[in-house]
Structure 1
Amino acid sequence: MLVGIAAAMVVLYGIREVASIAGPIVLALVLVIAVSPVRGRLAARNLPTWLQVTVPFLIVVLVILGMVGVLTIAAAELAALLPTYATQFDRLLVDAQHWATTHGLSNEMINKGLQAFDPGKIVELAQSLLGSAIGVLSAMFLIVVLLLTMSLDAPVTAKILNSGVGTKPRLVTALGVFAHKTRRYLIVSTVFGIIYAALDVVALSLLDVPLPLLWGLLALIANYIPNIGFVIGLLPPAMLALLDGGVQKMLLVIMAYTITNVVTQSFVLPKFLGDAVGLSTTVTFISVIVWTFVLGPLGALLAIPLSLLAQALFIDSDPRAGWAQALVSGKLPGGK
């Protein structure tokens, strides 16, 4: 066991050193797996091979461009809006100082806190978010090339995997289950993400928060990041609500997001997601932490598919690892 843990640590640190390459490779693999049914339907109709490659490839590229575009626009709009709220920000500081004074805090402590706090850091943060979003564009060329090569090789790769049924049946079956669960995860997350984002857009529109549709799209994208995606999607509209309408409006936004998140993500989604991917809540949370440490923000986005791939390679393909499979899924071998 100790040797296995040590080997895992070496592998994870090695992947971390090449995260700029490993991340796009895994993302391209997941996206190719996601659109593989499209290629299968085109092949079933005996359409030309170039069409079987081009259509799924274009679908994936358009999705990536859309997601990067939304993130870039969100960061740019936030960076552009924050300076216009300078007066409201100063008023909030005065109100906060008055509240703190009336509740027993000394002016000396408040002044030290205000001196340590630089309002310009908020704008710098927004600008850094914009830079990070634009930085994703620098990896687009690598991702597109990987998508193209994987799409070209996908038909042959499927035949090669099927040819290994006689020699490595459990591994071939495990990889097939991995692909199936990955697609189910993406479908379930997308459906519930759309519902969650639509409810957020309605709430933000009723509360008159600026750019509600944009923040709804951001919530949809952040929905693919388990556990912490809710916070990522909430921060920009909550900040704008605070500057636009004060603490009360911010609390209403937080309350609206929390209610929609609890209903869609906490009560309903876990049942469907647990059945779709077969990972326990604890394993899901740990996977986000581990893969974010290894691959950065992209690791958080790919945490579930990466964990499913690791499960397929090291657990599902091993007939002796039934106990580990039950531990990861949180269910006894009998399904209880």
Structure 2
Amino acid sequence: MTRQGFPRALIVLVCAAAAVITLAGVQAVGSIVGPVVLALTLVIAVSPVRGWLARHNAPVWLQVAFPLAVVLLVLLGMVAVLSLAAAQLAILAPTYADQFNAMVADLQHWAAGLGYGSEQLNKALSSLDFGKVIGLAQSVLSSLLGVLSSLFLIVVLLLAMSLDAPVFARIVDAASTERPALARALKTFTYRTRRYLIVSTVFGLICSVLDVIALYVLSVPLPLLWGVLALITNYIPNIGFILGLIPPALLGLLEGGPKTMLLVIVAYIAINVVIQSFIQPKFLGDAVGLSTTATFLSLIVWAWVLGPLGALLAIPLSLLVRALLVDSDPDGAWAAALISGRLPERSPASQADPQPEQPGQPEPR
């Protein structure tokens, strides 16, 4: 029983039901929630630029216009690159139809040589259609473009949030006296989100440049597209590396055969796995405040709720939920420990182990 007299199991079930209802509601209005969270994340990312301009007594209009221009330049550049690459893929696709059909025929002969020439296997191989494969690749690009299709709404939200950001900062500072836990949680959320974005962007750019160079050397078509895709998928935790590897590996198979495909896989593993698994975590450290399990679960949940945009914003969304529901609660230390995978810090008064009572000694008055 809890202090309020309600069974803890009942509280857990009610909270779980409320979470399911809330996520279903967010999914229903995902076309609005997604751009709002994306705009909020971008405003947080460029907040140091606005702070630097404010410290140097720049005009207010410049404090709003310059960070907004930086964000818009990045968004429009990504849209332009993805649109151009999608058009190039549509033009290049028909030239690989013969190679794809020859590869399917070789697979049929290879399976027959191993004694697997059954009708079911031949039917499955013959059902492979190059048009379907290219259509799937184009649908993936279309989904990425769909994430940025509501550009007008994002621009309006960016402008509004950029104008209100200084006011919100002063409100949070003023709330530190009355709601210290909430103010500290919101400040921690902005710090962790900004550090996550900065570190992920820097290492994503490094991986993308090296991937483009490797694809150029291996003569894989559209290397710039796959470099941009590697940068975007770097923000998707756990499985982003695999999503960025599949398209260039398939094109390498069609362009140069199995050897080229294996070289692409080896190059991506050597570049991305080493940087993202061994170097990047040392710089990111514990700033995110999410365990590996919590990160993977957040990817699944937010991808289900908001689609591709939810996968890209899985970490910021989880950090926002943690700030509002866990970190703002003074009694949520153990819940934060379960999410982050770290024991909560003990207060100085409780750090000393209690001394056992000695029998026969009088109690202190």
Amino acid at match of 1:53: V
Shift of the alpha carbon at 1:334? 4.2
Residues 223, 229 of structure 1: 8 Å contact kept: yes
- Between the two proteins, the alignment pairs up a number of residues equal to 335
Q: Distance in 2 between matches of 1:291 and 1:208?
A: 36
Q: Distance in 1 between matches of 2:145 and 2:308?
A: 14
Q: Which residue of 2 aligns with 1:157?
A: 168
Structure 2 residues not aligned, in runs of 5+? 1-11, 347-365
Q: Which residue of 1 aligns with 2:198?
A: 187
Residues 108, 125 of structure 2: 8 Å contact kept: no
Amino acid at match of 2:334: W
Shift of the alpha carbon at 1:70? 2.5
Shift of the alpha carbon at 1:75? 2.7
Q: Which residue of 2 aligns with 1:328?
A: 339
Name the % identity: 63
Structure ranking higher on relative contact order (CA contacts 8 Å, 6+ apart): 1
Q: Which residue of 1 aligns with 2:236?
A: 225
Of 282, 286, 298, 1:287 maps to 298
TM-score normalised by structure 1 residue count: 0.95
Shift of the alpha carbon at 1:258? 1.8
Q: Which residue of 2 aligns with 1:296?
A: 307
Q: Which residue of 2 aligns with 1:30?
A: 41
Tell me if 1:207 matches 2:222: no
Tell me if 1:313 matches 2:324: yes
SS of the residue aligned with 2:330?
Answer: coil
Q: Distance in 2 between matches of 1:258 and 1:137?
A: 29
Q: Which residue of 1 aligns with 2:284?
A: 273
Amino acid at match of 1:323: W
Choose 214-223 or 108-117, whichever is displaced more.
Answer: 108-117
Amino acid at match of 1:120: G
Which is helix-richer, 1 or 2? 1
RMSD of Structure 2 on Structure 1 (CA): 1.7
Going from structure 1 to structure 2, the CA distance change for 1:136 and 1:327 (only over 3 Å counts) comes to closer
Question: C-alpha offsets along residues 13-61 of structure 1, whole Å, 9 cap, x if unaligned?
Answer: 1100000000000000000011111111111122221111111111111
Q: Which residue of 1 aligns with 2:247?
A: 236
Structure 1 residues not aligned, in runs of 5+? none
Q: Distance in 1 between matches of 2:86 and 2:327?
A: 41
Tell me if 1:172 matches 2:154: no
TM-score normalised by structure 2 residue count: 0.87
Q: Which residue of 2 aligns with 1:40?
A: 51
Residues 302, 310 of structure 2: 8 Å contact kept: yes
Amino acid at match of 2:108: Q
Shift of the alpha carbon at 1:151? 0.8
